[in-house]
Amino acid sequence: MNPTESSPRRRPTIRDVARKAGVSKSLVSMVIRGEEKVSARSREAVLRAAAELGYRPNLMARSLVQRRTKIVGVMVSDLRNPFFGDVVSGIEQQASELGYKVLFTTGDRQQERETEAIENLLELWVDGLILAGPRIDQDSIGRIGRSVPVVVLHRPTPTTSSADSVTNDDRAGAEMAVNHCHALGHARIAHIDGGTGAGAQERREGYEHSMRRLGLVEHIVLVSGGYTEPRGYQGAQELLSKRPLPTAVFAANDLCAMGAINAFEEAGLGIPSDISVIGYDNTSLAALRHVSLTSIHQPSIEMGQMAVERLFQRIDKGRTEPTHEVVAPSLVVRNTTGPPPAEPELEVRR
Amino acid sequence: MNPTESSPRRRPTIRDVARKAGVSKSLVSMVIRGEEKVSARSREAVLRAAAELGYRPNLMARSLVQRRTKIVGVMVSDLRNPFFGDVVSGIEQQASELGYKVLFTTGDRQQERETEAIENLLELWVDGLILAGPRIDQDSIGRIGRSVPVVVLHRPTPTTSSADSVTNDDRAGAEMAVNHCHALGHARIAHIDGGTGAGAQERREGYEHSMRRLGLVEHIVLVSGGYTEPRGYQGAQELLSKRPLPTAVFAANDLCAMGAINAFEEAGLGIPSDISVIGYDNTSLAALRHVSLTSIHQPSIEMGQMAVERLFQRIDKGRTEPTHEVVAPSLVVRNTTGPPPAEPELEVRR
DNA sequence: AAGACCGACTGGAACGTTCCAACTTTAGCG
DNA sequence: CGCTAAAGTTGGAACGTTCCAGTCGGTCTT
């Protein structure tokens, strides 16, 4: 009969705490926010009352009046790619350092769901947005960038965009990969590309450019792949169906490289004795001793940190001109690359 | 001189839209929420005004009055473990099906940061909480469960707890692993455990129980490990320092198994010719043909879906008695397990 | 002893929504 | 042509905070 008592006990508010502690709601607010100008006696009373009631501040109400959330939203394109594990860890680290909370969403590599995920974050009024390897188009990013600070991670962004970006030099990385193979004596170096993935275009261009510069134009073989293992497997299948076989393959990323390796091993080819494989991202996967994949490293943890830092500059320091940070990738040689087989097929037929 | 005009253009609110469309804010609200009882003319006017202003509803304000957010919060213990990629994907799928948004946080396998992460979600007033492989203690979980619907994933939870749970039968899974090795002819089956990780205790118990039942008590060798690759590596090192060496090793999870394999290979042991290794979780990692790790499968995508479903029942269907769903694990045999070496060290010395 | 000042505390007005009761307008009907 | 019903629309009161302009004692200064 008494609705107040029989209801499923609604969450206590600042008012309940105030009543219990015998002070005003303003005072409770001050204590919760950790303001100095409160007498020890009141502070203690408030704290006790809050603890007894199990009071938890309502962030929504707070953000509403402050018009800011102290939350940075992160849209991660693919949570299954171990690469993003590192990125995320860098982001969290730096964010907590700067007093920000982090919320993640993912688009599962689908444009449409990415848009949805980003929309969710925006409706929450996050103070800033990090897009890690987004697949949505530049226009959309630009549009979003006009209403909230945005940092694009791992995807080259035109300097005209209103968004910041933190990327590695994909083109240079791709060239490193090709040069490494060339230095080992390879000529027939193929590329399984990353399709529409973030930075895939640049890696493709870097590959072609490098091949051309090394005078290997006629050996350019480019098959379509993607940033996942099955795509790498498919790409490798396509390579296997063509003659002559390449002696080295530069895969769009580590996952893709793993798929390719599987296909090659399945076809009875030895790695790197028959065919060398090099990946990109230098994920924990590549580092597994059992895998030991040669790869191009990008400092993902640091890049995550930088992204948060850039956001911070915009939000709290009032920076307005966009910045575009490009970090240098580096080559990590492991056991999936080596000299080409002594007697390449073509030579035998002479 | 005119602060309104020179300010960095604050986000448009429902009032701005109302003014522009020449209607009341209530009407705008109705249109935005998609209510039926609005004339086509008004609806169109509102929609146009909203589009022109780039209006985006403020979810905080809405939640404040509705006292619900339509958000489920997910705390993931370790985003670097590919296992959680699947879980998360199942969660997202089901959530979007039921009209809920999903926000992730992670504790990076540290209790303290988990607590913090969960606190963040609670301050946002998420409608429900999923804890995927949490490390925080049962008491805390119970306490949280009393203020908001909670589903614990991948971690056995006492039936007395106010939280729901969705787990696989870790004990049975561990027994499967041991039985599989035994069936192949192994007797010296060691276990690298998962330390304080979710479900690690049960896997440990399953191992011991099974060994005992098979009459292999004296072969029980249990070293401490963890749910990461380096921990598996360390555990394997410890095993390598003891005599006799085991002929099979059951690792706490796939990551741990990978670390162990690395250590064994480094020590010159062939897998599975010298030593068999079996993991747990059947992650995408294990499935990589190049890795081809024998593992215990748990249906992670489905488990993620179930977790959301359970939450939904509590939030929208008013269920109050806790449920504890336990799904059956299954054995996936791949290439890291095989018969023990023909001449075990001990036999030679006879 | 009067004024100025300080520190601790308070009430009311926001913040951007939704909800509800009440108000118009239009339509239907005898 | 008046009455009722339905459809469409509206303003004001929440929601749980923070912020701001004060109030209220008390202490210091001259």
Closest nucleotide to A58, Cα to C1' = D16
The distance (Å) linking the CA of B164 with the C1' of C18 is 32
Rounded Cα distance, B261 and B279, in Å? 10
**Hey, where are the domains in chain A?**
3-57, 66-168+299-328, 170-298+333-341
Q: Which residues pair with A331 in a beta bridge?
A: A296
Coil, strand, or helix at residue B242?
coil
Cβ burial B21-35 (10 Å sphere, 16+ → b, else e): bebeeebbbbbbeee
Q: Which residues pair with B249 in a beta bridge?
A: B190, B277
Rounded Cα distance, A44 and A59, in Å? 23
Phi, psi of A335, rounded to the nearest 5 degrees: -105, 10
Rounded Cα distance, B245 and A56, in Å? 54
Closest listed residue to residue A78, CA positions, set A243, A254, A264: A254
Whether the CA torsion B176, B180, B183, B187 is positive or negative: it is negative
Cβ burial B186-198 (10 Å sphere, 16+ → b, else e): bbbbbbbbbbebb
Domain B3-57 has CATH 1.10.260.40: yes
Neighbours of A119 (CB within 10 A): 14
Residue nearest D10, CA–C1′ metric = B24
pLDDT in tens, B19-51: 999 999 999 999 999 998 899 999 999 999 999
Is A86's CB within 8 Å of B105's CB? no
Residues in contact with A95: Cβ distance below 8 Å, sequence separation at least 6, in sequence order:
A72, A101, A102, A308
Q: Does residue A59 reach within 7 angstroms of strand D, measured from its CB?
A: no
Is B60's CB within 8 Å of A63's CB? yes
Rounded Cα distance, B119 and B122, in Å? 5
Closest CB to B106 among A92, A266, A284 = A92
Q: What is the pLDDT of residue A3?
A: 36
The distance (Å) linking the CA of A309 with the C1' of D19 is 29
Neighbours of B4 (CB within 10 A): 7
Q: A181 with A331: CB under 8 angstroms?
A: no
- The Cα of B164 is separated from the nearest Cα of chain A by a number of Å equal to 18
Contact positions of strand D to protein Cβ (< 7 A)? 7-12, 14-20
- What amino acid occupies position B167? T
Flag whether pLDDT at B344 surpasses 80. no
Neighbours of A122 (CB within 10 A): 19
Pairing state between β A248-251 and A189-192: parallel
Q: B82 with B70: CB under 8 angstroms?
A: no
Mean pLDDT within B271-287: 95
Class in CATH terms, B67-168+300-327: alpha beta
Residues in contact with A36: Cβ distance below 8 Å, sequence separation at least 6, in sequence order:
none
Q: What is the pLDDT of residue A79?
A: 87
- The Cα of B156 is separated from the nearest Cα of chain A by a number of Å equal to 25
Report residue A302 as tokens.
């640091």
Q: B258 with B229: CB under 8 angstroms?
A: yes
Closest CB to A290 among B67, B120, B291 = B291
Q: B118 with B63: CB under 8 angstroms?
A: no
H-assigned helices in B57-110? 59-66, 82-97
Q: A293 with A258: CB under 8 angstroms?
A: yes
The distance (Å) linking the CA of A21 with the C1' of D24 is 20
Using left for φ > 0, alpha for ψ between -120 and 50, and beta otherwise, residue A185 falls in left
> Which residues in window 9-28 of B are less than 7 A from strand C by Cβ?
10-11, 13-15, 25-26
Closest listed residue to residue A307, CA positions, set A74, A19, A47, A21: A74
> Which residues in window 234-253 of B are less than 7 A from strand D by Cβ?
none
DSSP for A12-45, please give it.
Answer: P-HHHHHHHHTS-HHHHHHHHTT-S-S-HHHHHH
The distance (Å) linking the CA of A74 with the C1' of C28 is 57
H or E element that contains A229: helix A229-240
Closest listed residue to residue B242, CA positions, set B261, B219, B225, B226: B219
Is A61's CB within 8 Å of B59's CB? no
Superfamily of domain A66-168+299-328: Response regulator (3.40.50.2300)
Neighbours of A349 (CB within 10 A): 6
Averaged confidence pLDDT in chain B: 92
Class in CATH terms, A170-298+333-341: alpha beta
Rg over CA atoms, chain A? 26
Pairing state between β B295-297 and B330-332: antiparallel
Burial, A236: exposed, middle or buried (Cβ in 10 Å; 0-12, 13-18, 19+)?
A: buried
Return the minimum-mean-pLDDT range out of A5-9, B107-111, B280-284: A5-9
H or E element that contains B330: strand B330-332
N-terminal to C-terminal alpha carbon distance within chain A? 99
Q: Do B3-57 and B170-298+333-338 agree at the fold level?
A: no
Q: B284 with B86: CB under 8 angstroms?
A: yes
Q: What is the pLDDT of residue A80?
A: 87
Fold of the B170-298+333-338 domain: Rossmann fold (3.40.50)
Residues in contact with A144: Cβ distance below 8 Å, sequence separation at least 6, in sequence order:
A118, A122, A129, A150, A163
Instruction: Identify the segments of chain A with pLDDT beneath 50.
Output: 1-7, 344, 346-350
Rounded Cα distance, A201 and A195, in Å? 8
Torsion of CA B22, B24, B29, B32, to 10 degrees: -10
Confidence of residue B162 (pLDDT cuts 50, 70, 90): confident
* Closest alpha carbon within chain B to A261: B290
The order of strands in the sheet holding B221-223 is B221-223, B189-192, B248-251, B276-278
Mean pLDDT within B121-133: 95
Report residue A12 as tokens.
């206590």
The count of CB pairs under 8 A between chains A and B is 120
Please report where in the chains the tokens 């940070």 appear, as a residue.
A325
Interface probe with B: pick from A66, A126, A288, A320, most Cβ of B within 10 Å: A288
Within chain A, strands assigned E span 71-76, 101-106, 128-132, 150-153, 164-168, 189-192, 221-223, 248-251, 276-278, 295-297, 324-327, 330-332
Closest listed residue to residue B117, CA positions, set B105, B127, B129: B105
